[in-house]
Every structure is written in structure tokens, then in C-alpha cells.
A and B are shown apart, each in its own frame.
Chain A
Amino acid sequence: MKRFIAFLAIALLPLAASAHGPSPQKVEKSVTIKAEPAKVWALVKDFGNMQKWHPAVTNTKLEKKGNDTFRTLTLKDGGTIYEKLRSIDDQSMQLKYEIVEGALPVADYYSVMTVKPGPAAGETTVTWMGRFYRVYKLNPPIPAGQDDESALNAVNGVYDAGLANLKKVAEGQK
């Protein structure tokens, strides 16, 4: 009975707490937006409204559990991603969050979005950086869809589409 319960417990472990391999991947993308930093930061820091600027997100549900804030993103293709807010720093205009579990083929995903003024006056640069591991935690051979390439492609897609649309939304706003 004890062994069965232990097995169940392992199967239910959230993605964030489970073991990973030794090679983290990194994606870093930037976009320059012709809008004031304060306006762009207002969009980025609004953790409960990602659908306002990310084209793949149809709905965001915010949730507080004690001192922690979570969000469930509903995606256009029907999947969901459950994320935990780590910090929002208004002074450095930086947002940090992690994925708890969800549709993206990644493990131990941690991300930082930074908003900075410039390069020119009236412009803002947004940098989106992610660190994550592939889904498959053991040594090769790796099952299809759980490898480094799948993880990288997915995150690159999220960042490219997101930053391009963030630019459109921020520049379109009055």
C-alpha cells in the first residue's frame, strides 16, 4: 500500500519540482517599440491580462494562494499553461515568472522580462529571456517532442509572436 501511494505521489509532482538533466537551454529575444517605457511596462507587468498583448493567449485567469500569485493562460489551440509570478520590480521594470505545468514542451522553465528606455527618446526595448530544460529528463535516446529542439522551437515561437504583437499593441495605443 505504501509503495503504491509513493508511486502516485511521484506521478503527481508538479513540473517545477521534478528532477532535470544537466543542460539548461536559453532563449533571449528583444524588440524595440516606439512607445514610452511606462506604457510598455504597464502592459508587461499586468500579469493577469496577458491576452491583451500575446496573440496565442485567449484568456488569463489570475489566482492568489497566500502570498503567491498564479495565472492560468488559455491558449488559442485549446491548451493551458499554469504559471507562478516570482517578482515584479517597478524600479528596474522587470518581471520574473515560472511555469508550473502546461502545454509547452519544457521543464523547469523560468523567465525574465525586462523593459528599458531607448535606444532613442520615446522608444522602449523589451528583452524576454527564458531558461528551461527539455521535457525528457534522462540520457538519450530521447522520445520525439521531448528533446531540446522541441523545447527551443516552442519557446522561440512564444517569444517571437509575443514581442511582435506587444510592439503592435503598445504602438497602437493612445
Chain B
Amino acid sequence: MPSWADSYAYITNQGSNDVSVIDLGKNSVIARVPVGKSPVGVAASSRLGRVFISNVDGQSITVIDMRTNKAISETPIASSPVGMVLSPDNARLYVADWFEDRILELDTSNMSLIRQIKVEKAPAGMAVSPDGNYLYVANRDSNDVAVIDITTLRITSRIPVGNHPFGLTVSQDGTWLYVVNVQDNNLTAINMQKEETFTVAVGEHPYCATVSPDGKFVYVTNTQGDSVSVIDTLQKKTIDTIMVGGFPEGINYDNSTHKIYVANWFDNSVSVINARNNQLVTTISTGTRSRAFGQFIAEAAH
């Protein structure tokens, strides 16, 4: 039985069609859960005790029960679910359909479709504001971020960013939105309260980003640089580059241990970084073609 004192990471393995469950207290894999075909996106909820997995080629979403580490349902989604994000109360799951250019809003209690909205083009990474009012969507093929009012599920604004935005994350206080521009090798930072943006150069072909709990640092995976760029948000520049595994993609910050977890697609592994000194701590073998796109860490219940 999983210990509720530890946090867990749920790593989608696009190649082996399963999810590696890592106990972050021990930094070891405790289970491998078979899911649908080509799992990519993940949204983990401690509150619900469930993990939602998008199976891109399987065209479905698998729900994993955290207590048993077993898949309990697979819901067909017509077209291509990739990015996913939970509302702050975890009652709603937003799913980005890559080819149909739309966001689906699902009820997490029964996986039924509540509403949907067209967002063009090729919606990828998403985040929800901590107050639950706004859904932010990176549109990879229109080079912008859509800001969606969740009450009305309408687009209230579109913010132009760089070329080919993919990963997107929001600071824990909701002030800053960070968008990774894959083809520009940089990150766009957007202040959602005053109209301020800036960009920071990172490494080669970056995909995803995560923020430290205090908002001081943003960490970006450089897929073709095999590294993580550390951005100082006050200085507005990259201050460190940490070598990780081959083709790093998904990245999450574990608030309980101050470690950063990175999924390496080429190396079939997860790199663990100590955020206090930006040093690589260990590398954990996972299934094949690990991506972990989304919120893949479920924090321990306190």
C-alpha cells in the first residue's frame, strides 16, 4: 500500500504504453500501470486519489486509482487528447484535443463531458489560475496563448507569444504565466495583472517549464540540449544549465522535497535535481519514451 507520507510521480511512457509510479521519498519505481496506447499527458490529484492519463494514439483517457495503482476506467475521446489540467478544486478536467482544436471540460467524478470550446490551433500545454477563474491554453500552431473565462467558457483574450508554444505553467500565486516557445529557444513570461512581458533565452528546442513555489526560479527542459535551464525571474535571465538525460520533456517541482523531476524521452528515465543547489541527485529508469506532460506529481496529503 502506498504511504500517504510520500509524494508520487506518475510518468507516462509513450513507448511502453504504461505509467511508471515513483515514490518520491525513496526515488524508486513502485509500480508500472498498463494504460492505453501512447500515453502522453498526465494530471494527478491527491484530493481525488486519481491520476488522469491521455492516450494519444488510443484516443482515450485512462483513470488510475492511486491507492491500488490500477487503471479503473478508459474513456474514449474522439480525436487526440494530449494536454490536460485539473481545476483547483479537482472537480473538472480540461483536455486539449490537438487535431480538433478544442478543449473539453470533463466532470472528474464520472468522466462525462460538460462543455467544450473551440481554440485554434493545436492546443497543447494548459494551466488554470489558482483562483479557478481562468484557463490558459498554449496554441502551438497559432503562436499565442488563449485566456478563457471558466464561468462562461469563452476566450476573453489571446496573447501573442513566440514560435510554436508548447509547455505552459503558472506561478503558484497566479501572477505570472510562463510559456515555452519551442522554435525560438526561449520562454515568454507574462504578468497577468499588469501588462508586462519579457522573454528569456534558454537551450535548444525547449518543451516544458515548472516554477519554484516562491516564484523565484523557472526551470525549462531543453529537449535537444539534454539539459534544464534555470531562470532567475528577478534577473530575468538563465543563470544555470543542468545536464540531464537524453531529450528531456516533462518537468515538475516537488514542493515537499524541493526536488525537480524531469522525464527523458530518449533515455527512458527520470532525472532528479536538488533545487537547493541545482545538482543532479539521481536517475531513475522508467518505461520507454517517457514524457510526463502535465502535472505528474501528486503531493503528499498533509
Interface residues of A (CB under 8 A from B): 17, 19, 21-24, 26, 28, 86, 96, 110, 112, 129, 131, 138-139
Asked if B99 and A21 sit within 8 Å, CB to CB, the answer is yes
With A22-B40, A22-B98 given, is the CB distance from A139 to B80 under 8 Å?
A: yes
B82 at the interface (CB under 8 A from A): yes
CB distance from A50 to the nearest CB of B (A): 21
12 other A-B residue contacts (CB within 8 Å) besides A23-B14, A23-B57, A26-B288: A17-B183, A19-B122, A19-B141, A21-B98, A22-B98, A24-B14, A26-B289, A96-B224, A110-B224, A129-B266, A131-B265, A139-B80
Q: Mark B102-138, 1 if CB is under 8 A from A, else 0.
A: 0000000000000000000010000000000000000
List residues of chain B with CB within 8 A of the CB of A24.
Answer: 14, 265, 289
- The reply to whether the CB of B38 lies closer than 8 angstroms to some CB of chain A is yes
Residue of B nearest to A110 (CB): B224
Q: Are the C-beta atoms of A22 and B82 separated by less than 8 Å?
A: yes
- Within the complex, what minimum Cβ distance (angstroms) separates B38 from chain A? 5
**Considering the chains assembled together, what is the distance between the CA atoms of A17 and B140 in angstroms?**
12
Report the nearest A residue to B293, measured CB to CB: A22
A-B contact count (CB 8 A): 42
Find residues 255-295 in chain B having any chain A CB closer than 8 Å to their own CB: 265-266, 288-289
CB distance from B77 to the nearest CB of A (A): 12
Flag if A23 contacts B56 (CB, 8 Å).
Answer: yes
Residues of A within 8 A of B15 (CB): 26
Answer whether A86 and B80 are a contact pair too, CB < 8 Å, given A21-B98, A112-B246: no
Task: Kindly name the residue among A22, A23, A96 whose own CB sees the greatest number of chain B CB atoms within 10 A.
Answer: A22
B199 at the interface (CB under 8 A from A): no
Residue B52 interfacial (CB < 8 Å): no
What is the bound-complex CA distance between A125 and B236, given in angstroms? 42
Closest A residue, CB atoms, query B288:
A26
A42-B193 Cα distance, complex, nearest whole Å: 55
Question: In angstroms, how far is the closest chain B Cβ from the Cβ of A9?
Answer: 15
A139 touches B79 (CB 8 A): yes
- Of all chain B residues, which has the CB nearest A86? B224
Cβ A138 vs Cβ B99 within 8 A: yes
CA–CA, A86 and B224, complex, Å: 9
Q: A17-B183, A112-B246 are in contact. Are A22 and B56 (CB under 8 A)?
A: yes
Interchain residue pairs with CB less than 8 A apart (10): A17-B183, A19-B140, A21-B99, A22-B40, A22-B82, A23-B38, A24-B265, A26-B288, A26-B289, A110-B224
Contacts A19-B122, A96-B224; A129 near B79 (Cβ below 8 A): no
Q: Does B296 contact A (CB under 8 A)?
A: no
Interface string of B199-215 (1 = CB under 8 A from A): 00000110000000000
Residues on B lying within 8 angstroms of A by beta carbon are 14-15, 38, 40, 56-57, 79-80, 82, 98-99, 122, 140-141, 183, 204-205, 224, 246-247, 265-266, 288-289
Contacts of A86 in B (CB 8 A): 204, 224
- Within the complex, which residue of B141, B204, B247, B288 is in contact with A131, where a contact is CB–CB below 8 Å? B247
Complex: A108 Cα to B24 Cα, angstroms: 34
Closest residue of chain A to B291 (Cβ to Cβ) is A24
The residues of B that contact A23 with a CB separation of less than 8 Å are 14, 38, 40, 56-57
Distance in angstroms between the alpha carbons of A50 and B146 in the assembled complex:
46
Could you tell me if A129 and B246 are in contact, using CB atoms closer than 8 angstroms? yes
* B99→A139 contact, CB < 8 A: yes
Residues of A within 8 A of B247 (CB): 131
Q: Report how far A28 CA is from B82 CA in the complex, Å.
A: 24
Closest residue to A114 on the B side, CB-wise? B246
Q: Which 7 A-B residue pairings sit nearest by Cβ, starting from the closest?
A: A139-B99, A22-B82, A22-B98, A22-B56, A19-B141, A23-B56, A23-B38
B80 CB to nearest A CB, Å: 6
User: From residue A43, how far is it (CB to closest CB) to chain B in Å?
Assistant: 22
List residues of chain B with CB within 8 A of the CB of A112: 246, 266
**Cα–Cα, bound, A7→B289 (Å):** 36
Q: How far is the CB of A67 from chain B (nearest CB, A)?
A: 14
Task: Give bound CA distance, A110 to B14, whole Å.
Answer: 18
Whether A22 contacts B183 by the Cβ 8 Å rule is no
In the complex, what's the smallest C-beta–C-beta distance from B103 to chain A, in angstroms? 15
